[in-house]
Amino acid sequence: MVFYSCTFLASVRLIKIARHWSYILREWSAVEMSMRGYFNETKAKRKFVVITAVFMSLGIVEHIFFIMNGIFQSKECQGFSEEPLKVYFQVSFQNYFSFIDYNIWIGAIIKFANTISTFTWIFTDLFITLISIAMTSKFEQIFKRLEINKVTHEKFWKEIRHDYQKLYNLSKSLEKHLSFLVLVSYFHNIFFLCIQLYNSLSERTGAIETAYFFISFGFLVLRILTVSMYGAWLNEEAKKPLDILYCVPSEQYSSEVARLIEQICTNPVGLSGSGFFLVTKNFLLQMAGTIVTFELMLFQFAPVNAQQKPMKSYDCI
C-alpha cells in the first residue's frame, strides 16, 4: 500500500512538473544567459550521464532479480509444473491474489503497474539528484568568480549580489515544484529502509534470494545517500561565498557586501520537504538517528523463536 501510494503521488507530481517544465526552463535559461561570463562547469554533464546510467542499470538489475526470486520461490509450491505462470503471479503478488481470483489479464496488469511503479520510484530519486547537481554547479560558478576575480569595487559586488539573487529566485521556483516530491521520496525511502533492515533478521534460502536482498538493500541505501549528499552539497555550495565575503578588507567593505552576507545567512538554499525539513549535513545526522531509533523499536517485535516467525511474502497460497 505504501509503495503504490508513494509512487502514485510521485507520478502525479512529476506530471504536474512536466506541465510547467517549459516555464522552468525559460527562467533557467535567463539565469544562464546572465551568467555567461562566469566560470564554465564542464563536469556537470558527465555527472548527469554517469549517475543516470548507474541508477537505471542497477534498477534493471534489481528488477530482474525480483523476477528471478519470484520464479525461484514459485518452484517450491505445488502446481508450478502444471501452471507456472499462475503460481508465479500468486507468489510474487500474494497481497492481491489472496483477495481476488487469479486471471492472466489481471496478473499482466498488476505486473505492468509494478514495473512502472518501480521505475517511477527510481526516477524520482534520479530527478531530484540531477536538479541538485545542476543548481549546485550554478552556485559553484559564483564562488569560483569570487575566488579568482581581484576586482573588488562596488559595481562588482552589486553584480555578484544580483546574480546570487537570480539563483536564489530560481531555487525557490524549483522548490515550489520539487518540495512535495522530496517529501514523498524521503518518506518512501526511509520507510522501506526500515523494512529492509527488519527483514535482514529473517533467514534467506538460496543464492538468488540472498543476492536479491543485498542488491535491493544496497541500491536503496545508494539512492538515499546520493539524494541526501547532493542535496546537502547544494546547501553547502550556496553558503560557500561567505568564506570569501568574511575576509573582505575593511577598506573594500561596502553596503553591497553586507547585503550579500545578510542574504546568504538569512535565506538558506537547498532541497526542502514541503517546508518540514531542509536537506543539510545536520539533517543527515538527524535522519540517521531517527532511523536507528525506529529500527530499535522494530527489533522489539522481531521473532524470538521459530513459532513466531512471520510469514514470508512469497509463501504459497
The residue that leads in pLDDT, 303 or 154, is 154
Predicted confidence (pLDDT) per residue in 253-305, tens digit:
888 888 988 988 888 888 888 888 888 888 888 888 888 887 777 777 665 44
pTM score, whole prediction: 0.86
Mean predicted confidence (pLDDT) in 184-205: 84
Model confidence band, residue 310 (pLDDT cutoffs 50, 70, 90): very low
- 151: exposed, middle or buried (C-beta count within 10 Å: 0-12, 13-18, 19+)? exposed
In Å, what is the CA distance from 281 to each residue of 170, 176, 208, 263, 273?
22, 22, 36, 20, 15
Mean predicted confidence (pLDDT) in 70-78: 78
Spell 6-23 as b/e; 16+ CB within 10 A means b. bbebbbebbeebeeeeee
Ranges of each domain in the chain: 2-34+43-301
Query: Whose CA is closest to 269, among 144, 182, 128, 172?
Result: 172
